[in-house]
Amino acid sequence: MNNKYNMDDKFKVDDKQEKKDDEIEVLDIWEPHADEITDAKDRHIKFSKKTTNRIVIVLVALGALLLMWYSTFAQPLASNNQQYKDEHIYIGFTNTEILSIVGSAKEVNKPDISARDEANFYVSLSNIGDKIVYDLTIENRGNMDAKVDDIRMEPENKDGDAILYYLSGIKEGDVLPKGSIVHVQLTVTYQNAVQVAGVVRKDLTVNIDYVQA
Mean pLDDT of 47-56: 74
Residue with the bigger pLDDT between 184 and 116: it is: 184
> Facing residues of 122 across strands?
109, 203
Both 133 and 207 in one domain: the answer is yes
Both 99 and 188 in one domain: the answer is yes
Whose CA is closest to 105, among 179, 64, 162, 63? 162
CB atoms near residue 37 (< 10 Å) = 10
pLDDT at 31 over 60: no
CB atoms near residue 163 (< 10 Å) = 23
Both 104 and 66 in one domain: the answer is no
pLDDT at 199 over 60: yes
Which of 16, 51, 86 is at the close of a domain? 86
Both 95 and 195 in one domain: the answer is yes
Whose CA is closest to 164, among 187, 193, 181? 187
Both 165 and 143 in one domain: the answer is yes
Domain count within the chain:
2
Q: What is the pLDDT of residue 34?
A: 54
Report the 3 state secondary structure along 91-132: EEEEEEEEEEEECCCEEEEEEECCCCCEEEEEEEECCCCCEE
Mean pLDDT of 19-35: 53
Which of 22, 52, 86 is at the close of a domain? 86
Both 82 and 95 in one domain: the answer is no
Residue numbers of the domain that contains 172: 91-212
Mean pLDDT of 68-93: 64
Both 46 and 122 in one domain: the answer is no
CB atoms near residue 121 (< 10 Å) = 23
Q: What is the pLDDT of residue 81?
A: 47
Q: What is the pLDDT of residue 85?
A: 47
